[in-house]
Structure 1
Amino acid sequence: MAGRLLLVCRLMVRDLRRRRTETVLLLVAISAATATLTLGLALNNALAKPYERTRAATAGPDVVAMPGATGPQALAALAPLASAPGVTAHSGPYPIAYLMLTAHGKTVQVVVQGRDNSPAALDRPAVTTGTWVRPGGVVIEPTFANALGVRTGDTVAINGRPLRVVGTAVTAARAVYPNADWRFGPGSPLVQLAGLAWVDSSEIGVLADAKPPSYTLNLRFADPHASTSFRHMSRGGIEYTSWTQIAETDGRLVKQARLALLVGAWLLTALAVASVANIVAGRVVDQRRRVGLLKAVGAGPAMIAAVHLAEYLVIGLAAAGTGLTAGWLTAPALTNPGAGLLGSTGTHPPALRTVLAVTVLALAIAAAATLAPVLRAATTDTVHALADAATPPRRRRWRVWLSRRMPTALLIGVRVNARRPRRAHLVMVNTLITTTALAALFMGLAQDQQVRLGESELASPRNTRTLQAMFLVVVVLCVLALVNAIVSTWTAVLDARHPLAVARTLGATPAQVTAGMAVAQLLPAIPGVALGIPVGIGLYLVATPGQPQYAPASWMLAVALAVLFAVAVLTAIPALAATRHPVADALQ
């Protein structure tokens, strides 16, 4: 047993050292899928926990109460709540005004809350940059500040009065931009999108043109489950908003981005399986003579399978570590407060669950992609393996009749695919997944990326985050698809060097041979592209609520032509290089 294990290890190390390029390609293919899965799990963690961390760090309330009245009537309505049964702490009431803010030529709606420097029992906003409120200054919620394009030290105008931005801060007592709930007046049922800002309490009356402000009161209950019964309701002329409602509203900012990464992880997994299967198929074909030699000296099918599977499982484990590290390091950059995730700086996915999921995924990709060709190699006849000959195509009378009427380039392409039908299937899968991702991305680009806040429009943090996730997935997909296409075309050219040399001997020109190899790749790529466009559109429609806008047909046509053109070019380059070699050398 020890001798067999030593032999497997030696053969594995020798094969990995001899085929370093293919080993790196396998590592890249599996690492791309595992890194994307890690990012998806990181956003899954960021969806629920950032608000909880912010609520704990800022002493967030259980319930926020807002009366429909203004001025002294509002204060009188809120006064009994502070001493109501079950209430253990409160802060406020704080004045609230619904005003207009102007920055960089854009005028938008803003909810302005008056605060002071005295410590509060509940709702102590955490300053992320600059300082807290002071006379003549304004503090802006970070996501709103990013959309406005303002930084600490800039000057903005609220209702025409200039104020200096002295800092940014996060809170758990109100939803982040653009869901700060701007109203035409206290108690108004019409709620519009807006951002949130804080000013000194002494200035809110001046900014509101001496109009009586409304007020907000923060409450905490002895029973942690009591606040959930409020959710979002009105009772006795007072509107109550539970922390669970605020958390759910903030979570919508990253829900689609998380879904995009998770769907992208599945697409990358499928593409990684196709890529690994393509590379493994080429390696197994190249190792067919070695399989025959091992069988000739007494190795059985189990030994042959162990020799092959060992190296791919080792590569899978290495790829799991690489993808996990890449995703772990990238996760904090994708989950920062400026991108709409409240208090999520430094977010990492859950360690143990992520390591297990990534490891299982990597090993599953390696096993799924290698099992079939490895078993086929293990059960191959010894004489056939030593001969190292490709499986001859099945001849049919109608195929022979049709081939006589085909142009030379088309005939070469059809015969190449007939010799290696599985490679053609992998090309179709490669183009199908790539086109699906590109079609979904163009659907996302066709959506309105702005939200209207009064007189102007600002960037939507949810759409921005979703597009960032989609761009990340598409870039990784395209890189992996490019690697897959290069491996596929080079393998096809090398595998078909003898048939191509025979075709050149019978009179085919180098241009016809090159075109024939391009046709061999384009024939399976065309149905992949044709299916990928509607699948990508349907995938986006299923994942996106509401009624999204459709991308122009010209965009989708451009995507289809670009994918096919890339396949043709990637095939033509190695085919042209192969035609420069003498026919006699190839026939030897």
Structure 2
Amino acid sequence: MAGRLLLVCRLMVRDLRRRRTETALLLIAVTAATATLTLGLALDNALAKPYERTRAATAGPDVVAMPGATGPEALAALAPLATAPGVTAYSGPYPIGYLMLTAQGKTVQAVVQGRDDSPAALDRPAVTAGTWVRPGGAVIEPTFANALGVRIGDTVDINGHPLRVVGTAVTAARAVYPGADWRADAGSPLTENAGLVWVDSSQIGALAGARPLSYALNLRYADPRASTSFDHMSMDGIEYTSWVGIAEADSRLVRQARVALLVGSWLLTALAVASVANIVAGRVADQRRRVGLLKAVGAGPAMIAAVHLAEYLVIGLAAAGTGLVAGWLAAPALTNPGAGLLGATGAQPPALRTVLAATALALAIAAAAALAPVLRAATTDTVQALADAATPPRRRGWRVWLSRRMPTALLIGIRINARRPRRARLVMVNTLITTAALAALLMGLAQNRQVKLGESALANPRDTRTLQAMLLVVVVLCVLALINAVVSTWAAVLDARHPLAVARALGATPAQVTAGMAVAQLLPAIPGVALGIPAGIGLFLTVSLGEIRYPPGSWLLATALGTLLAIAALTALPALAAARRPVADSLRSVPA
């Protein structure tokens, strides 16, 4: 037993050293899937409860109370609440003005709250950049600042008063932009979209001018369940907003982004399986003669399968470790739940469930993709394995009649696909998944929905965050698809070098041979593109909410043609290199 295990290890190490390029491609393909899974699990951890994390970090209240009255009447209405039964802590009341803010040439609605630099028992906004409020300065909620396009040091105008932006901060006492609830009148129950701004409490009266000020009182209850009964409830002229309602509003920022990354991880996993199957198929086809030699010296099917599967399982374990590290390092930049919320970063090592899930995925991809071709190689007859013969095309009278009337390039392409039909199907799957992801991204770009805030409109942070997640997935998908296309083309060129040499000996030109290889890749890619466009649109429609806008037909057509042109270009380069090789050398070469 020990001798067999040692033999398997030696053969595995030797094969990995001989095929370093293929091993690296396999490692990249499986790593992409495991890194995406690690990011997905990190995203669940960071975004599962973004509001709750922000609330804990900023001492968020259980309930925010706002009276319908303004000025001294509002303060009188709020005074008894601070000592009401069940209330254990409070902060405020803080003055609030519903004012207009002008920045970057846009005038929008802003909820302006007066604060000072003394620490509060409840609602201590966490400064994410710059400093806290001071006279002459304004602190803006980060999501609102991003939509406005302002940075620290810029000047904004609030109701005709210029203020310098001194910082950005997040809070759990009010929903982030665009849900800060602006009111045309201080006591009006009707709310509109707005962003949140903090200023020094000594200045808010001057900023508001003739507009009456409202007030907000933050409360914490001894019984946590008591606060959940307040959900935008009005009683005795006072409006109560529970943290549950604020959390629901904030969660809309990341809900679609989470779905986009979840669906993207499924697509990446499917593409990784196709990629590994493609590479494994090429390796096994290239190793058929080696399989025959092993069988000739007495190795049985179990030994053959063990030798090959050991390689892929080792690569899978290495890819699991690489993917975990890559996902962990990328998590801080990619799992931020949004500028207005505090999310967990990748500072802590991956959890045990993440390590186990990534390892299981990597091994499953390697084993599932390798199992069928490895078993097929292990059960191949020794003489056939030594001959390394491809699947002979079935000859039919009508096929022969039709082939006589085909252009040479088309005939070569069809014959190559007929010899290796499984490879052609993998090309179609690769193209379908990639095109579907690109079509979904075009759907996301076409939305471009904006939020109306009074006189101007700003970008919708929910769509922006979703588009960022989709772009991340598409970039990784395209890289993996590129690897698939290169591997598939090169494997096809190596596998067809003898038939192509025979075709050239019979009169085919290098240009016809190159075109034939391109046709061999384009024939299965065309149905993949044709199915991928509607699949991507349907995928976007499945996970999207609200009004849907469709991209122009020219975008989809350009995507389809660009995908096919990219495949043709990737095929032409290695095919042209192989076509330049002398025919005699190709015919004399022996399969590896």
TM-score using structure 1 length: 0.97
Matches within 5 A, 1:415-426: 415-426=415-426
Deviates more, 1:196-205 or 1:313-322: 196-205
1:164 is matched with which residue? 164
Distance 1:419 1:336 in 2: 49
1:439 is matched with which residue? 439
Q: SS where residue 518 of structure 1 aligns? A: helix
1:94 is matched with which residue? 94
1:39 is matched with which residue? 39
1:204 is matched with which residue? 204
Question: Alpha-carbon deviation of 1:29?
Answer: 0.6
1:342 is matched with which residue? 342
| 8 Å Cα contact 1:33/1:269 also seen in 2 | yes
Identity of aligned residues (%): 84
Distance 2:322 2:449 in 1: 34
Question: Alpha-carbon deviation of 1:76?
Answer: 2.5
Amino acid at match of 2:199: V
1:10 is matched with which residue? 10
Question: Alpha-carbon deviation of 1:412?
Answer: 1.1
Distance 1:407 1:176 in 2: 63
Question: Alpha-carbon deviation of 1:186?
Answer: 2.7
Residues 202 and 148 from structure 1, CA distance in 2 versus in 1: closer, same or farther, beyond 3 angstroms? same
Q: SS where residue 446 of structure 1 aligns? A: helix
Residues 345 and 426 from structure 1, CA distance in 2 versus in 1: closer, same or farther, beyond 3 angstroms? closer
Residues 11 and 466 from structure 1, CA distance in 2 versus in 1: closer, same or farther, beyond 3 angstroms? same
Residues 157 and 199 from structure 1, CA distance in 2 versus in 1: closer, same or farther, beyond 3 angstroms? same
Distance 1:287 1:362 in 2: 23
Matches within 5 A, 1:469-480: 469-480=469-480
Amino acid at match of 1:54: T
| 8 Å Cα contact 2:75/2:215 also seen in 1 | yes
Distance 1:88 1:33 in 2: 49
Distance 1:546 1:374 in 2: 48
Amino acid at match of 1:27: L
What is the CA deviation profile of residues 10-54 of structure 1, one whole-angstrom value per residue up to 9, with x for unaligned ones? 111111111000000001111111111222222222223432232
2:577 is matched with which residue? 577
| 8 Å Cα contact 1:332/1:348 also seen in 2 | no
2:112 is matched with which residue? 112
2:123 is matched with which residue? 123
What is the CA deviation profile of residues 232-277 of structure 1, one whole-angstrom value per residue up to 9, with x for unaligned ones? 3222322221112212222221121121111111111111111111
2:484 is matched with which residue? 484
Q: Over aligned residues, Cα RMSD in angstroms?
A: 1.6
What is the CA deviation profile of residues 345-380 of structure 1, one whole-angstrom value per residue up to 9, with x for unaligned ones? 557686112111111111111011101000101111
| 8 Å Cα contact 2:46/2:343 also seen in 1 | no
1:262 is matched with which residue? 262
The question of 1:520 aligning with 2:520 is answered: yes
Question: Alpha-carbon deviation of 1:425?
Answer: 0.1
| 8 Å Cα contact 1:48/1:251 also seen in 2 | no
| 8 Å Cα contact 2:154/2:164 also seen in 1 | yes
Question: Alpha-carbon deviation of 1:449?
Answer: 4.8
What is the CA deviation profile of residues 256-313 of structure 1, one whole-angstrom value per residue up to 9, with x for unaligned ones? 1121111111111111111111110111111111111111222111111111011101
| 8 Å Cα contact 1:111/1:182 also seen in 2 | yes
Question: Alpha-carbon deviation of 1:343?
Answer: 4.9
Number of residue equivalences: 588
Question: Alpha-carbon deviation of 1:344?
Answer: 4.5
Distance 2:137 2:398 in 1: 84
Matches within 5 A, 1:337-416: 339-344=339-344, 351-416=351-416
The question of 1:326 aligning with 2:326 is answered: yes
Matches within 5 A, 1:154-233: 154-233=154-233
Q: SS where residue 123 of structure 2 aligns? A: coil
Amino acid at match of 1:383: V
Q: SS where residue 198 of structure 1 aligns? A: strand
Residues 288 and 343 from structure 1, CA distance in 2 versus in 1: closer, same or farther, beyond 3 angstroms? closer
Distance 2:292 2:219 in 1: 78
Distance 1:551 1:125 in 2: 40
Distance 2:27 2:568 in 1: 26
1:66 is matched with which residue? 66
Question: Alpha-carbon deviation of 1:459?
Answer: 2.6
| 8 Å Cα contact 1:521/1:571 also seen in 2 | yes
1:314 is matched with which residue? 314
| 8 Å Cα contact 1:170/1:343 also seen in 2 | no
Distance 1:110 1:350 in 2: 40
